[in-house]
Amino acid sequence: MSEIEQPQLYLITPPEFELDVFPDVLASVLDSADIACVRLALASQDEDKICRAADAISVVTQARDVALVMDEHILLVEKLGLDGVHLSDGARRVAKTRKMLGDDAIVGAFCGTSRHDGMNAGEAGADYISFGPMGAAALGDGERASEDLFQWWSEVIEVPIVAEGALDADVCKTFATITDFFAFGEELWSSEDPVAKLAELKKLIEVS
Protein backbone atom coordinates (compact mmCIF):
# COMPACT_ATOMS: atom_id res chain seq x y z
CA MET A 1 0.00 0.00 0.00
CA SER A 2 1.40 3.38 -0.99
CA GLU A 3 2.06 5.85 1.80
CA ILE A 4 -0.11 8.46 0.11
CA GLU A 5 -3.18 6.21 0.08
CA GLN A 6 -5.73 6.58 2.84
CA PRO A 7 -7.08 3.41 4.46
CA GLN A 8 -10.70 2.83 3.55
CA LEU A 9 -13.63 2.32 5.91
CA TYR A 10 -15.41 -1.02 6.28
CA LEU A 11 -18.32 -1.40 8.70
CA ILE A 12 -19.46 -4.51 10.57
CA THR A 13 -23.05 -4.52 11.83
CA PRO A 14 -23.87 -5.31 15.46
CA PRO A 15 -24.59 -9.00 16.16
CA GLU A 16 -28.15 -7.99 17.00
CA PHE A 17 -30.17 -4.92 16.09
CA GLU A 18 -33.72 -3.63 15.84
CA LEU A 19 -35.02 -3.59 12.27
CA ASP A 20 -37.04 -0.45 12.90
CA VAL A 21 -34.03 1.45 14.26
CA PHE A 22 -30.66 0.29 12.93
CA PRO A 23 -31.19 0.81 9.17
CA ASP A 24 -31.79 4.53 9.79
CA VAL A 25 -28.69 4.72 12.00
CA LEU A 26 -26.65 2.98 9.32
CA ALA A 27 -28.00 5.34 6.67
CA SER A 28 -26.85 8.34 8.71
CA VAL A 29 -23.38 6.83 9.09
CA LEU A 30 -23.09 6.00 5.39
CA ASP A 31 -24.18 9.52 4.51
CA SER A 32 -21.47 10.98 6.73
CA ALA A 33 -18.44 9.28 5.17
CA ASP A 34 -17.18 7.29 2.20
CA ILE A 35 -17.71 3.65 3.20
CA ALA A 36 -16.31 0.88 1.00
CA CYS A 37 -18.22 -2.09 2.40
CA VAL A 38 -20.72 -3.17 5.05
CA ARG A 39 -20.71 -6.66 6.54
CA LEU A 40 -23.92 -8.12 7.92
CA ALA A 41 -22.69 -10.07 10.93
CA LEU A 42 -25.66 -11.31 12.92
CA ALA A 43 -25.20 -13.80 15.74
CA SER A 44 -28.55 -15.40 14.94
CA GLN A 45 -28.82 -18.62 12.94
CA ASP A 46 -32.51 -17.99 12.22
CA GLU A 47 -32.78 -17.83 8.42
CA ASP A 48 -35.93 -15.71 8.42
CA LYS A 49 -34.39 -13.20 10.80
CA ILE A 50 -31.19 -13.01 8.76
CA CYS A 51 -33.10 -12.57 5.51
CA ARG A 52 -35.27 -9.78 6.91
CA ALA A 53 -32.18 -8.01 8.27
CA ALA A 54 -30.36 -8.39 4.95
CA ASP A 55 -33.31 -6.98 3.03
CA ALA A 56 -33.52 -3.96 5.33
CA ILE A 57 -29.79 -3.27 5.20
CA SER A 58 -29.48 -3.80 1.44
CA VAL A 59 -32.06 -1.07 0.82
CA VAL A 60 -29.72 1.32 2.63
CA THR A 61 -26.48 0.17 1.04
CA GLN A 62 -27.77 -0.14 -2.52
CA ALA A 63 -29.15 3.39 -2.43
CA ARG A 64 -25.63 4.59 -1.62
CA ASP A 65 -23.73 2.21 -3.89
CA VAL A 66 -21.98 0.54 -0.95
CA ALA A 67 -21.07 -3.15 -1.15
CA LEU A 68 -22.88 -5.47 1.27
CA VAL A 69 -21.39 -8.82 2.25
CA MET A 70 -22.73 -11.41 4.66
CA ASP A 71 -20.98 -13.41 7.33
CA GLU A 72 -20.73 -17.10 6.51
CA HIS A 73 -24.06 -17.88 4.84
CA ILE A 74 -22.86 -18.58 1.31
CA LEU A 75 -26.17 -19.98 0.05
CA LEU A 76 -28.05 -16.82 1.03
CA VAL A 77 -25.80 -14.45 -0.92
CA GLU A 78 -27.36 -15.08 -4.33
CA LYS A 79 -30.83 -15.60 -2.89
CA LEU A 80 -30.75 -12.16 -1.29
CA GLY A 81 -28.86 -10.41 -4.07
CA LEU A 82 -25.90 -9.45 -1.88
CA ASP A 83 -22.43 -8.57 -3.13
CA GLY A 84 -20.56 -11.38 -1.43
CA VAL A 85 -19.60 -13.27 1.69
CA HIS A 86 -17.10 -13.02 4.52
CA LEU A 87 -15.67 -16.35 5.69
CA SER A 88 -14.33 -16.68 9.22
CA ASP A 89 -12.26 -19.85 8.85
CA GLY A 90 -9.33 -18.61 6.78
CA ALA A 91 -8.52 -20.30 3.49
CA ARG A 92 -10.56 -23.44 4.08
CA ARG A 93 -13.63 -22.61 1.98
CA VAL A 94 -12.37 -19.81 -0.24
CA ALA A 95 -11.83 -21.84 -3.45
CA LYS A 96 -15.17 -23.66 -3.11
CA THR A 97 -16.99 -20.40 -2.36
CA ARG A 98 -15.41 -18.65 -5.32
CA LYS A 99 -16.56 -21.49 -7.57
CA MET A 100 -20.09 -21.30 -6.16
CA LEU A 101 -20.51 -17.53 -6.33
CA GLY A 102 -18.46 -16.75 -9.44
CA ASP A 103 -15.81 -14.18 -10.20
CA ASP A 104 -17.96 -11.11 -9.63
CA ALA A 105 -18.84 -11.85 -6.01
CA ILE A 106 -16.76 -10.49 -3.15
CA VAL A 107 -15.15 -13.27 -1.11
CA GLY A 108 -13.37 -12.16 2.04
CA ALA A 109 -11.50 -14.34 4.52
CA PHE A 110 -10.67 -13.76 8.17
CA CYS A 111 -7.31 -15.32 8.92
CA GLY A 112 -6.72 -14.35 12.54
CA THR A 113 -3.03 -13.67 13.01
CA SER A 114 -1.71 -16.21 10.50
CA ARG A 115 0.39 -14.97 7.58
CA HIS A 116 0.40 -18.49 6.13
CA ASP A 117 -3.39 -18.78 6.24
CA GLY A 118 -3.72 -15.32 4.72
CA MET A 119 -1.43 -16.22 1.83
CA ASN A 120 -3.34 -19.44 1.18
CA ALA A 121 -6.66 -17.60 1.19
CA GLY A 122 -5.31 -15.04 -1.25
CA GLU A 123 -4.01 -17.73 -3.57
CA ALA A 124 -7.37 -19.50 -3.39
CA GLY A 125 -9.14 -16.41 -4.71
CA ALA A 126 -10.07 -14.21 -1.76
CA ASP A 127 -10.67 -10.55 -2.64
CA TYR A 128 -9.43 -9.40 0.73
CA ILE A 129 -7.89 -10.87 3.87
CA SER A 130 -8.79 -9.64 7.33
CA PHE A 131 -6.52 -10.04 10.33
CA GLY A 132 -7.20 -9.48 14.00
CA PRO A 133 -7.77 -8.82 16.75
CA MET A 134 -5.60 -5.75 16.56
CA GLY A 135 -5.76 -4.62 20.17
CA ALA A 136 -6.31 -6.12 23.60
CA ALA A 137 -9.44 -8.28 23.65
CA ALA A 138 -10.86 -10.58 26.29
CA LEU A 139 -11.98 -13.09 23.68
CA GLY A 140 -9.70 -15.67 22.10
CA ASP A 141 -6.23 -16.54 23.34
CA GLY A 142 -4.92 -13.00 23.60
CA GLU A 143 -2.79 -13.18 20.46
CA ARG A 144 -2.90 -10.06 18.30
CA ALA A 145 -2.20 -9.41 14.64
CA SER A 146 1.25 -7.85 14.61
CA GLU A 147 2.56 -4.68 13.05
CA ASP A 148 5.26 -6.81 11.39
CA LEU A 149 2.58 -8.91 9.65
CA PHE A 150 0.86 -5.85 8.20
CA GLN A 151 4.12 -4.19 7.24
CA TRP A 152 5.31 -7.30 5.41
CA TRP A 153 1.97 -7.85 3.71
CA SER A 154 1.71 -4.25 2.54
CA GLU A 155 5.16 -4.50 0.94
CA VAL A 156 4.92 -7.97 -0.59
CA ILE A 157 1.30 -9.02 -1.22
CA GLU A 158 -1.18 -7.32 -3.53
CA VAL A 159 -4.37 -8.75 -2.00
CA PRO A 160 -5.96 -5.99 0.15
CA ILE A 161 -5.93 -6.44 3.92
CA VAL A 162 -8.42 -5.44 6.59
CA ALA A 163 -7.61 -4.66 10.22
CA GLU A 164 -10.41 -5.62 12.60
CA GLY A 165 -11.07 -6.27 16.25
CA ALA A 166 -10.30 -4.07 19.29
CA LEU A 167 -9.38 -1.03 17.22
CA ASP A 168 -8.37 1.55 19.80
CA ALA A 169 -6.73 4.91 19.13
CA ASP A 170 -3.18 3.58 19.35
CA VAL A 171 -3.93 0.74 16.93
CA CYS A 172 -5.57 3.09 14.43
CA LYS A 173 -2.58 5.42 14.41
CA THR A 174 -0.03 2.60 14.24
CA PHE A 175 -1.63 0.67 11.38
CA ALA A 176 -2.99 3.54 9.28
CA THR A 177 -0.10 3.44 6.80
CA ILE A 178 0.08 -0.35 6.48
CA THR A 179 -3.51 -1.52 6.09
CA ASP A 180 -5.95 -1.04 3.23
CA PHE A 181 -9.11 -1.08 5.36
CA PHE A 182 -10.17 -0.61 8.96
CA ALA A 183 -13.28 -2.62 9.87
CA PHE A 184 -15.20 -0.83 12.60
CA GLY A 185 -18.00 -2.62 14.43
CA GLU A 186 -18.50 -2.43 18.16
CA GLU A 187 -16.08 0.50 18.28
CA LEU A 188 -18.72 2.47 16.39
CA TRP A 189 -22.09 1.10 17.44
CA SER A 190 -21.37 1.19 21.17
CA SER A 191 -21.26 4.97 20.91
CA GLU A 192 -24.36 7.05 21.59
CA ASP A 193 -23.56 9.01 18.42
CA PRO A 194 -22.10 6.69 15.75
CA VAL A 195 -21.78 9.52 13.22
CA ALA A 196 -19.65 11.58 15.59
CA LYS A 197 -17.68 8.49 16.59
CA LEU A 198 -16.90 7.67 12.97
CA ALA A 199 -15.67 11.22 12.41
CA GLU A 200 -13.37 10.76 15.41
CA LEU A 201 -12.08 7.43 14.10
CA LYS A 202 -11.51 8.89 10.63
CA LYS A 203 -9.22 11.54 12.09
CA LEU A 204 -7.18 8.82 13.83
CA ILE A 205 -6.51 6.94 10.61
CA GLU A 206 -5.79 9.87 8.33
CA VAL A 207 -2.43 9.54 6.61
CA SER A 208 -0.63 12.82 6.01
CATH code, domain carrying 135: 3.20.20.70
Quick check: is 13 in a domain? Answer: yes
* The pLDDT value given to residue 138: 58
> What's the Rg (C-alpha) of the chain?
16
**What DSSP designation does 145 have?**
-
* The pLDDT value given to residue 208: 74
Structural domain count of the chain = 1
Question: SS3 for 86?
Answer: strand
Q: Is the per-residue pLDDT at 96 higher than 90? A: yes
**What DSSP designation does 105 have?**
S
pLDDT band per the 50, 70, 90 thresholds, residue 4 = low
- For the segment 98-107, the average pLDDT, to the nearest whole number, is 97
164 Cβ neighbours under 8 A, 6+ residues apart: 10, 12, 110, 130, 131, 132, 133, 134, 182, 183, 185
* The pLDDT value given to residue 29: 98
Quick check: is 2 in a domain? Answer: no
Pairwise CA distance, residues 83 & 172, whole Å: 27
Buried (b) or exposed (e) across 181-201, using 16+ Cβ within 10 A? Answer: bbbbbebbbeeeebbebbeeb
Query: Would you give the distance in Å from CA 5 to the centre of its chain?
Result: 18
Quick check: is 89 in a domain? Answer: yes
In order of 45, 74, 136, the CA distances from 19 in angstroms are 16, 22, 31
Q: Is the per-residue pLDDT at 188 higher than 80? A: yes
Structural domain for 183, as ranges: 8-205
Burial class of residue 133 in the structure, from the number of CB atoms within 10 Å of its CB (0-12 exposed, 13-18 middle, 19+ buried): buried
Quick check: is 26 in a domain? Answer: yes
Quick check: is 1 in a domain? Answer: no
Consecutive H or E run containing 22:
helix 22-32
Pairwise CA distance, residues 82 & 67, whole Å: 8
* The pLDDT value given to residue 2: 40
Taking the whole predicted model, whether its pTM rises above 0.85 is answered as: yes
Pairwise CA distance, residues 97 & 84, whole Å: 10
* The pLDDT value given to residue 125: 97
Quick check: is 3 in a domain? Answer: no
As a residue count, the chain comes to 208
What average pLDDT does the structure give for the chain?
Answer: 95
